[in-house]
Structure 1
């Protein structure tokens, strides 16, 4: 797949050139960098000013040759941030709708395979209103696959889900990557999702491709690595318990007491908070005498190495899933592996300014 597109929007100039191999390619960048605009042009929802789009050898757009294939003829599956299922149709009817609007519908055996792959066979008779957020997204993925696409576009498909639903859905994207040969262009600003899912990364900043390449190589780039580290934060919910005279606010998060510099919120108010990966220190044992007021027990569920000198640990804790960043040397010194128990010293907690919270 070859993308070479230019388009002037009211707020920025889109100028992107890259290729997409098999597997999952992540369009990675901050919010507003142009990621969704790129996949909308590929889908045929936006028309570029100039350039070309070639998918599976078929030219979908070429400004010089005046080629423009309409969206409904492109044979592209689109997974939105929210499922966008038809509320008046059952799950099965939503899935079958995809085969009605494609010129090359999948066979019955393929329908059975996809509902088994996504674990939605027991949901077929339900209405969308009776589905959880994660279930709706699995049905939306199934509907995209049943359109028999030559390409799947996924626009931040996990962003509207809480952490437990994200954890539920991630293995299904891994199965799509590993078992199907359909290339997936996956939009995200989450470094965690890039690290877990992507084979290839196209880093986007202000409408331009800054660094394309294999995921490990791109995340080794110092510029992208800094962006990934900034993005590497974990969100959780808490409520205000008390404001103390020493300038600290006491918080409660799923039964855990935490302290942070005074926040402007009334006692009892709910808060959406986040902890950055570089603000966590990892120890094998709890430190009894320490200046760290916030300590948590955790269990390591996964270890990822995005670059030679960086280690990301995913940890299961009482306040939810957290992701910590360590240097390779510190990680080797501790001798940690997935499945080990450990303790976290949290150096800073921030109020989140994102649209959703775990």
Structure 2
């Protein structure tokens, strides 16, 4: 485990009481409604707020009240990306990046400016001032400045919350690249489930200052007892490997648990690991494989269980696909007509255009 923590925070009308052990790699998302304690917990990890508790990162203890130990923020090997970019207005983009880089003694610099500039496509922006940048561009520069401090842990506090939809779509691929290329463990705060699904590997669900669930992203998205499966955006994230990057007609063929899946995505190389989000509403079920249909994807699955949907006319069906879980939303009438039941072998039909 990368981070071990226990914090107690008491304020008027709010109490945070958490104990967590977080993974040493990938993206851990702190998810919950506004006021659930996400940002407070992140600020405790950063040392920006001091409250009763304990915190260690890998083999370093950053806070231990019993030993009266508290390591100040500037001595913690972390980077912090705030909701607002907060760039220095008098410095060009190059100067803002250099500020982060120069804070680190040369022997401790394991990330170089050229690497970050290429990763975040900042080359065309280097001579501009912050007021000449879009919101998404400013946040990319802020991210680059944080990375150039060579952090061993990166904290991100709702970095997309202040951006419009177009700017979010602009910056999300860069966050994915950061996750995949630099291998820095990230703790990411968000109340937007679409962001979490796209970026996170591990999920911590916070409610009124308490951890109500935590675990791998897919397990929580498809858990019967959690709310995600009973929302309009109910979905799962499958781990896949690229088989044919150019399978024809602008499609890519990937392998999921030994079965082929065609997705509408290009610019990926053979053998690359990627995640594919599949909405429950895009999964149809059949008792036999279909050939004369527009569905490109037909996966062999086993029915785990059936539960009520959002409304009485719907059912949610959880399906076993190798070691992963797929979710389908069907009508109650279809569930009855197909005589759906646990243990049944089925075929999950998915439109290729629904997968990107």
Q: CA deviation at 1:187?
A: 0.3
The residue aligned with 1:220 is 222
Give the whole-Å Cα distance in 1 for the aligned partners of 2:15 and 2:230: 24
Aligned to 2:120: 118
DSSP-derived class of the 1:218 partner: helix
Gaps of at least 5 residues in structure 1 are 233-299, 314-325, 342-358
Offset, 1:227: 8.3
Alpha-carbon deviation of 1:107?
A: 4.7
Confirm whether residue 195 of structure 1 aligns to residue 200 of structure 2.
no
Once residues 162 and 330 of structure 1 are traced to their aligned partners in structure 2, the CA distance between those partners, rounded to angstroms, is: 33
State the match for 1:328 in structure 2.
328
Q: For 1:85-96, what aligned pairs fall within 5 Å after superposition?
A: 85-96=87-98
CA shift, 1:11, in A, is 2.4
Structure 2 CA distance for partners of 1:115 and 1:66, relative to 1, 3 Å: same
Q: Deviations over 1:334-357 (max 9, x none)?
A: 94434269xxxxxxxxxxxxxxxx
Match of 2:29 among 4, 26, 29: 26
- How far has the Cα of 1:105 moved from its partner? 7.1
Aligned mates of 1:228, 1:134 — CA distance in 2: 32
User: Relative to 1, partners in 2 of residues 1:64 and 1:311: Cα closer, same or farther, differing over 3 Å?
Assistant: farther
- Which of the numbers 38, 41, 49 marks the counterpart of 2:41? 38
Structure-1 separation of matches of 2:15 and 2:157: 20
Deviation, 1:61, is 0.5
**Inter-partner Cα distance in structure 2 for 1:229 and 1:60:** 39
2:282 and 2:354 in contact (8 A); partners too: no
Asked if the contact 2:111/2:148 (under 8 Å) is kept, the reply is: no
Determine if contact 2:222/2:228 at 8 Å carries over to the other structure: no
Shift of residue 99, structure 1, vs aligned partner: 2.2
| C-alpha contact (below 8 Å) 1:44/1:69 kept by paired residues | yes
- Per the TM alignment, residue 108 of structure 1 is displaced from its structure 2 partner at its CA by 9.0
Q: Report if the CA contact (8 A) 2:4-2:56 is conserved.
A: yes
Q: CA deviation at 1:54?
A: 0.8
Q: CA RMSD in A?
A: 3.0
> TM-score by structure 1 length?
0.66
Q: Give the Cα–Cα distance (whole angstroms) in 1 for the partners of residues 209 and 156 of structure 2.
A: 18
Q: Which residue of 2 aligns with 1:256?
A: none
CA distance, structure 1, for counterparts of residue 281 and residue 109 of structure 2: 44
Partner residue, 2:133: 131
Is residue 2:20 matched to residue 1:47?
no
* TM, length-normalised to structure 2: 0.66
Measured at CA, do residues 104 and 28 of structure 1 come closer, stay the same or move farther in structure 2, by a change above 3 Å? farther
Tell me the CA shift for residue 180 of structure 1. Answer: 1.4
With over 3 angstroms needed to count, the CA separation of the structure-2 counterparts of 1:218 and 1:84, relative to structure 1, is same
Change (3 A) 1:13 1:187: same
Q: Which residue of 2 aligns with 1:337?
A: 351
Q: Which residue of 2 aligns with 1:304?
A: 277
1:58 aligns with 2:76: no
Q: What does 1:146-295 align with in structure 2 at a 5 Å threshold? A: 146-226=148-228, 229=231
The CA distance in 2 between the partners of 1:183 and 1:11, in whole Å, is 32
Contact 1:53 1:59 in 2 (8 A): yes
With 176-185 and 216-225 compared, the bigger mean Cα shift is at 216-225
Instruction: Give the aligned length.
Output: 260
8 A contact 1:27–1:187 mirrored in 2:
yes
1:222 shift after superposition: 3.6
After superposing the two structures, state which structure 1 stretch, 82-91 or 2-11, moved more. 2-11
1:345 — aligned with what?
none
